[in-house]
Structure 1
Amino acid sequence: MSQKSFETRARELASAFAAKDYERCSHLLPPLKVVLSQLNILVPLLSSDLGLLAVARDILEIGALTAIFLRDDLLFSRYIAQLSPFYAMKDKIHPPSSNEKKLIALRLLLLLSKNDIAEFHTELETLEDEADKDVYIRYPVMLERWLMEGSYDKVWKATTQRSEVPAEEFAIFADVSIANCGGTQNRWY
């Protein structure tokens, strides 16, 4: 795929995502990831073209968000793993990601929905003071706290009232959180 074709496909992906055509996104992503691999930017290095790294990160973020809307937790987890090195280099890649905190919070919600509390807290420890500062990160932290306290009415309100959910992607976890309130472990899909 030529550079021009790659850029065209990347724009098509962004347009499909903006139009909420997640099935189309799922078809556009694999060939784009192949090109990212061919350009040696699927895994970021300091020697990589930083502009291309921003494009690669944005493509992977669309992949992660698409996986959320398609309710594919395994695919979401793979995209998050691929994004981790990009987020580790966030001081070098410009413009900064507008989705990083949202995706990290969604990962925390996934861990919470799987009742993987140990991994949830391990991930949370890497976030320093973000739990208090960021609206996205604060949401799963509060849900986990309320679940541990047995404050199921607060969990119910936070997951079922649109005004309480920080972004539409978070609403996907409402059914799972509600099921956890009843003491049953539920999967994401």
Structure 2
Amino acid sequence: MTVLKDTQQLLDKLKNAYKKNDLATGKTVLGQIKIKLIQLPAVPPNSDFSSPTAQQELLLARDVYEHAVLLALKSQSEAALESSFTQLKTFYADTRSVLPAAPQQWMFAGLNLLRLLVANRIAEFHTELELIPAEGMTVPHVASAVQLEQWLMEGAYNKVLAAGKSLPPECSFAVEQLSATVRDEIASCAEASYPSLKLADAQVLMMLASRKETEEYAKQHGWAIEGDVVHFNKAAAADATAEQHMRLINHALLYAKELERIV
């Protein structure tokens, strides 16, 4: 019982650190909790569900693993995300006979879909999607991941960029990364298509919030600004065209390979 009580106290510290965005403390406390969890008989891999406190131990551990995922999302650590999602999925599967369904299971499934989408792991995305039942598909996090994947496949980049405000806050990590990728894709197309654009038109095209943000983005890409006009570098435009062609070829080959794996 002492270990269980100590673990609960550490979990409270983890939740507090998460709320305060104290990621360093959160990581330290999480490591301490995992050492404690090994000592609890009901928690996998021990899985002694005959323990008199089995359900209490498992509910606590499930809460820990869910917060481990949330902490990894805030840390934007791909390695920690991979590990945390794997542990959480295994825990959900191994405790079905003892615990009621987790209230937030499909929310975390949606976050996992978004992670796979950002990493362009399309085959795994669709494999995980097939495991989600009908009731899970209506959860905003899952529905958002499916919608974003559809827009990306359609090339509706403007919808991806505009999606941020309508998505659940936990999805912000994916939207930021997808938006950066999509905006760079639009920039490459603009370089290849136009010698120059009015600064206001470039701002609208890239869906940037202000003139200042547009000017900073232009500097990052080596574009020249004269008055209210953005001039694209012609040599860069030629390189962008070739790069875009190679990217399209690579995407097509990758997509074909992923489809083959799914089938």
Task: Name the amino acid aligned to 2:92.
Answer: Y
Cα–Cα, structure 1 residues 133 and 42, in superposed 2: closer, same or farther, change >3 Å? same
Equivalent residue for 2:6? Answer: 5
| Contact 2:49/2:98, CA 8 A, preserved across alignment | no
Residue 77 of structure 1 pairs with residue 78 of structure 2: no
Equivalent residue for 2:32? Answer: 31
1:141 to partner: Cα distance = 0.5
1:44 to partner: Cα distance = 7.2
Aligned sequence identity (%): 30
1:113 to partner: Cα distance = 0.7
Equivalent residue for 1:65? Answer: 70
Match of 1:158 among 160, 163, 176: 163
Of 44-53 and 70-79, the range deviating more from structure 2: 44-53
Cα distance in 1 for residues equivalent to 2:135 and 2:153:
20
Equivalent pairs, count: 179
Cα–Cα, structure 1 residues 2 and 134, in superposed 2: closer, same or farther, change >3 Å? closer
Equivalent residue for 2:128? Answer: 123
| Contact 2:66/2:88, CA 8 A, preserved across alignment | yes
Equivalent residue for 2:47? Answer: 45
Please identify runs of 4+ aligned residues in structure 1 that moved more than 4 A.
none
1:147 to partner: Cα distance = 0.4
Deviations 1:48-89 (A, max 9, x none): 502110100101111110000000111111111111133223
Of 98-107 and 26-35, the range deviating more from structure 2: 98-107
| Contact 1:22/1:70, CA 8 A, preserved across alignment | yes
Cα–Cα, structure 1 residues 132 and 169, in superposed 2: closer, same or farther, change >3 Å? closer
| Contact 2:152/2:160, CA 8 A, preserved across alignment | yes
Cα distance in 1 for residues equivalent to 2:178 and 2:120:
10
| Contact 2:65/2:87, CA 8 A, preserved across alignment | yes
Cα distance in 1 for residues equivalent to 2:71 and 2:9:
19
Cα distance in 2 for residues equivalent to 1:10 and 1:132:
30
Cα–Cα, structure 1 residues 58 and 121, in superposed 2: closer, same or farther, change >3 Å? same
1:12 to partner: Cα distance = 1.5
| Contact 1:44/1:86, CA 8 A, preserved across alignment | no
1:101 to partner: Cα distance = 2.0
Task: Name the amino acid aligned to 2:98.
Answer: K
Query: 3-state DSSP class of the match of 1:172?
Result: helix
Task: Name the amino acid aligned to 1:9.
Answer: L
Cα–Cα, structure 1 residues 53 and 70, in superposed 2: closer, same or farther, change >3 Å? same
- Considering only aligned residues, what root-mean-square deviation do their CA atoms show, in Å? 2.2
TM superposition score normalised by structure 1? 0.84
1:32 to partner: Cα distance = 0.6
Cα distance in 2 for residues equivalent to 1:44 and 1:127:
27
Cα–Cα, structure 1 residues 44 and 128, in superposed 2: closer, same or farther, change >3 Å? farther
Larger radius of gyration: 2
| Contact 1:16/1:22, CA 8 A, preserved across alignment | yes
Cα–Cα, structure 1 residues 5 and 98, in superposed 2: closer, same or farther, change >3 Å? same
TM superposition score normalised by structure 2? 0.62
Unaligned runs of 5+ in 2: 186-243, 248-263
